[in-house]
């Protein structure tokens, strides 16, 4: 059986070979060891408890995933700045955490995202335009959660953890051999819903893995103001394993998440993964991160870029050459063009459509509301256009 181990705290960031003569940087509290399989310089290292064996095609596929998702993110940010989206929550810097976790899911598993898991959506086969339509205000998300094994985005902080735990308890009662992956950010660990979800998950040994992307800030609140202990250690208070992984190492994230999901399927109950990463951009396009963090901090984290380290590994090992990298960039250009074209061509929904998507079957009360609204709307000049 697959088992998860509790990690014990030590100092420093392993695999980080940037100068550390005066200890860890002041904006980061002392940190425990991370599970790491690929250093920031792109060198493979071993871990006593976690390993992964991928062939060359699989490694190249992970690189392609991250590059395309980053390009999608950049295009969406540009579209929002040009007035084509109401808002956008960037994943810049968190590609390895999301692609690694998403690719760890089995076909029958279910994921419950926040509003930033565009990379996970990509791995579950969700069309990027179905995410863009949500941020454009055209609909509430254009994909079928059951077909994709990927729930609709949740904007209410932490609420998806309750949904995930409830779903996992249902899976358990159905006798299905599948697991659930609940995504959350570091700030969400302060929410009551998250703690309630963990209590229920522990009490019922639910097959759910809580995947926390610790990107160091809850909007503007830094990690050290949110918790006196590393976040993964909180799991022990609920009675299940917690582990911290280098969230910028796609190989380590994939290995750790696979193990956690396997343990959940085997009946070992919940676990908590803290993916230690960094939000390179703003919290959303309505945020100005320069008001609460220094540019030097961002530059330091650029040295741990998740895409650059995998590219270095592929290049150094001659697992991919210039032709491959150029083809990925071409695919990214094509994807960006499709996203831009598809977004600006989306038709605006009729205002009365909102009454049709509240429930699977419209209730008499909603039908009456819709009729009243349409009569009101018809009173305006040009309402029929």
Quote the tokens at residue 29. 């509290």
Asked if 75 and 81 touch (Cβ cutoff 8 Å), the reply is: no
Tell me how many degrees the CA angle 93-207-65 measures, rounded to the nearest 5: 30
Helix axes 250-265, 56-81, angle to 10 degrees: 100
Phi-psi category of residue 322: left, alpha or beta, with phi > 0 → left and psi -120 to 50 → alpha: alpha
283 is annotated as an active-site residue: yes
Asked if 4 and 241 touch (Cβ cutoff 8 Å), the reply is: yes
Measured distance CA(44)–CA(309) in Å, rounded: 10
Cβ-based neighbours of 119, under 8 Å, separated by 6 or more: 65, 66, 69, 91, 94, 95, 97, 98, 99, 102
Question: Which one from 265, 283, 304, 309 is the annotated catalytic residue?
Answer: 283
Question: Which one from 64, 130, 279, 304 is the annotated catalytic residue?
Answer: 279
Nearest to residue 213, comparing CAs of 239, 237, 248?
248
292 is annotated as an active-site residue: yes
Question: Which one from 20, 292, 341, 376 is the annotated catalytic residue?
Answer: 292
Helix, strand, coil percentages for the chain (3-state, nearest 5): 45, 10, 45
Place of tokens 């088992």: 3
47 is annotated as an active-site residue: no
Indicate which residues carry an active-site annotation: 279, 283, 292
């Amino acid at each position: 059986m697959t088992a998860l181990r509790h990690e014990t705290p030590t100092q420093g960031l392993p695999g980080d070979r940037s100068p550390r003569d005066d200890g860890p940087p002041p904006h980061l509290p002392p940190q425990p060891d991370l599970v790491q399989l690929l250093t920031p310089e792109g060198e493979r290292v071993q871990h006593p408890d976690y390993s992964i064996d991928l062939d060359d095609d699989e490694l190249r596929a992970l690189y392609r995933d991250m590059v395309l998702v980053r390009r999608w993110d950049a295009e969406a940010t540009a579209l929002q700045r040009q007035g084509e989206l109401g808002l956008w929550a960037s994943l810049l810097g968190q590609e390895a955490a999301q692609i690694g976790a998403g690719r760890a899911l089995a076909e029958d598993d279910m994921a419950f995202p926040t509003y930033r898991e565009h990379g996970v959506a990509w791995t579950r086969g969700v069309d990027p335009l179905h995410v863009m339509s949500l941020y454009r205000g055209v609909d509430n998300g254009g994909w079928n959660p059951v077909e994709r094994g990927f729930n609709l985005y949740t904007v209410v902080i932490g609420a998806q953890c309750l949904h995930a735990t409830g779903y996992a308890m249902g899976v358990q009662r159905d006798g299905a051999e599948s697991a659930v992956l609940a995504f959350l950010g570091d700030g969400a660990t302060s929410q009551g819903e998250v703690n309630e979800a963990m209590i229920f998950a522990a009490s019922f040994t639910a097959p759910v893995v809580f995947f926390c992307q610790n990107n160091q800030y809850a909007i503007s609140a830094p990690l050290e103001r949110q918790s006196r202990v590393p976040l993964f250690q909180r799991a022990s208070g609920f009675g299940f394993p917690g582990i911290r992984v280098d969230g910028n190492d796609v190989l380590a994230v994939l290995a750790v998440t696979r193990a956690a999901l396997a343990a959940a399927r085997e009946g070992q109950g919940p676990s908590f993964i803290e993916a230690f990463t960094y939000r390179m951009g703003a919290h959303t396009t309505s945020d100005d991160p320069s008001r609460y963090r220094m540019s030097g901090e961002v530059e330091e984290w650029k040295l741990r870029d998740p895409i650059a380290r995998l590219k270095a590994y592929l290049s150094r090992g001659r697992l991919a050459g210039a032709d491959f990298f150029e083809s990925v960039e071409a695919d990214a250009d094509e994807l960006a063009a499709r996203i831009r074209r598809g977004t600006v061509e989306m038709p605006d929904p009729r205002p009365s459509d909102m009454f049709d998507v509240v429930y699977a079957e419209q209730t008499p009360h909603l039908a009456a509301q819709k009729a009243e609204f349409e009569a009101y709307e018809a009173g305006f000049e040009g309402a029929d256009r």
